[in-house]
Amino acid sequence: MAFPRSASSALGETLVVVAVELKRPKGYGRCRLNVIPDAGAQSLQGFVRSNTELGSALFTDGWPSYVGLGRSGDYEHHSQPVDI
């Protein structure tokens, strides 16, 4: 997976954000996808807030735009940077 070098998508690229529900002890539940205009905090955090319950544990790829989700106290945010 390649990430844009900035919060704006390159010409001709379509950015899609995905949220997948993890079932415990194993498995997956609902999946949400949405096309977003950019990879900025407003777009990504808006998607998360519209598609997840407050208090949920979030596991993200380390993109800086997600940082505010854990700081707000609304979510338990776990960040795992992805080597590309």
Do residues 44 and 52 touch, judged by C-beta distance below 8 A? no
| pLDDT exceeds cutoff 50 at 1 | no
Q: Residues 21-44: pLDDT tens digits?
A: 999 899 999 999 999 999 999 999
Tell whether 26 is covered by a domain. Answer: no
* pLDDT for residue 13: 86
The larger pLDDT score, comparing residue 82 to residue 74, is at 74
* pLDDT for residue 12: 76
> Count of domains in the chain?
1
The domain of 54 spans 38-84
CA distances from 62 to 26, 59, 65 (A): 23, 9, 8
Tell whether 16 is covered by a domain. Answer: no
Residue 69 has φ and ψ, to the nearest 5°, of -65, -40
Instruction: In whole angstroms, give the CA distance from residue 7 to residue 63.
Output: 10
Q: Residues 37-69: pLDDT tens digits?
A: 999 999 999 999 999 999 999 999 989 999 889
Instruction: In whole angstroms, give the CA distance from residue 3 to residue 9.
Output: 9
